[in-house]
Structure 1
Amino acid sequence: MNRSTRLFRWCVGGMFAAWTLWSVLMAFVGEPFSLPLLRALVRVSVVLIPALAYVHFVVKDREDFWAFRHNWRQGLLVGTVLSSLFFVMIVAQNSGRIFSLPVGFAVWFNFIIVSPLVEEMMFRRVILEHLKSVTSTSRAILLESLLFSLLHLPWWFLSGKQQGVALVAALVSLFVYGVVFSVAVHYTKSIWAALLPHWINNLVILSFST
């Protein structure tokens, strides 16, 4: 096993271990671990820190590694198309329900803006790019999408937010989202192709949940 693979496993394993531990604390201890702002800061940190660590110690050519500048027009175009499709789909699924924008700094920071950002940085850049270097692109996309889905499992399961068939359906849905986002980033070489629809998806879903 080479150095980059060892560090990759440590970063990904550390992310899952840290979020699982915090989910246990939130579910069984409650406050202060479950306070919205603290939860948001931890959620972002457990994803962002391993991503930055991997790039610092492994990636040699870091210029626009996160793909914010490269092909940004194409990325925004694809992202806009996907955002529109997600918007129509979610609105159709919630026909008759009230659409109301969420309120509260912690909600916007965690669920709508920053968490999607760091998730795209970690999953569609660090994890996907590393896996593509050690296996086929199709396998890399499927495995990375599975990891993306499973990161949401600890809190959903421990908190009872999703149970039984609903839990499985939610995980499958996230896996599909992961595949779509990964394919979009792979072909456009721009993180915007996934980040923009990720933002819109979370915003619209939360707007129907409040």
Structure 2
Amino acid sequence: MNNYSYNSLIPSGIYSLVVIGFWTIWCLLMVEWPQIFALPSVRAIARVSIVFVPAMIFYLRGNYENSIFDYFLLRKNWVQGVIFGVGIATLYFSLGWLVNGDTRQSAFHFPTGFSIWVNFILGSPLAEEAFFRGVLLQELRTAMGTTLATVVSAFAFTLLHLPQWLILDNLFGVELLSLSLTIFTYGIIFAIFVNLTQSLWASLLPHWINNFILQALAN
């Protein structure tokens, strides 16, 4: 591992710990003072900011030769990424709909509310993709190669979700393990999409669509 690899690995690892650490602290604050920190709009803004701001700071720390759209893989191969992302999401949910039949059609409602859209549907997926697939995955690839970077970035993506499950939802045992494996699998799949297309749209669009449909079925 050369000096450039170390220079990529150490900062990205530190930023990952900062993101997970700050979200853990915020979850603890929501337990202690829910009337302030657990307000839906406050929680939504905090959740997005805690992940997105470090991604932007990481970009600004030394990528002056690249535009923000190039660094986060939003311009290169964007058409391929959009087609791939929409196609994969459509195929996934079409198959799910066929398997489930008509049992859930009446349960679909268009999500409403600022916190729902900022936290669950648009904001959090954008922040998570920007950091974990836009920053962490790309930086780790220079340090440890594509395969290991994919696994490590997916593991970090899973760790981000643990504070909410453990502190707010009190999940343990089989349920916690099941959710962790699910999110880890999503992290692997989204990373593979980006690796294949070199476009963040390939993971961002399925992430958006997935969260939108989950919220629509949950209402």
Instruction: Quote how far apart the aligned CAs of 1:152 are.
Output: 0.6
Counterpart among 18, 34, 38 of residue 34 in structure 1:
38
What is the letter of the counterpart of residue 28 of structure 1? E
**Structure 1 gap segments, 5+ residues each:** none
Matches within 5 A, 1:66-85: 66-85=72-91
- Aligned residue number for residue 205 of structure 2: 196
What is the letter of the counterpart of residue 112 of structure 1? I
Instruction: Quote how far apart the aligned CAs of 1:28 are.
Output: 3.4
Instruction: Quote how far apart the aligned CAs of 1:43 are.
Output: 0.6
Please give the alpha-carbon distance, in whole angstroms, between the structure 2 residues aligned to 1:58 and 1:166: 41
Q: Over aligned residue pairs, what C-alpha RMSD do you find? A: 1.9
Considering fraction of residues, name the structure with more helix. Answer: 2
State the Cα deviation string for residues 46-67 of structure 1 (Å, max 9, x = none): 1111111111114353221111
The answer to whether structure 1 residue 51 and structure 2 residue 58 are counterparts is: no
Task: Select between 20-29 and 183-192 the one with higher mean Cα deviation.
Answer: 20-29
TM-score by length of 2: 0.88
The answer to whether structure 1 residue 104 and structure 2 residue 113 are counterparts is: yes
Task: Select between 125-134 and 152-161 the one with higher mean Cα deviation.
Answer: 152-161
**Structure 2 gap segments, 5+ residues each:** none
Please give the alpha-carbon distance, in whole angstroms, between the structure 2 residues aligned to 1:95 and 1:148: 33
Instruction: Quote how far apart the aligned CAs of 1:4 are.
Output: 4.4
State the Cα deviation string for residues 128-185 of structure 1 (Å, max 9, x = none): 0111011021010011011111101101111126443122111111111111111111
The answer to whether structure 1 residue 151 and structure 2 residue 160 are counterparts is: yes
Identity of matched residues, %: 35
Kindly tell me the number of residue pairs found equivalent between the two proteins.
210
The answer on whether the counterparts of 1:90 and 1:205 sit within 8 Å (CA) in structure 2 is no
- Aligned residue number for residue 125 of structure 2: 116
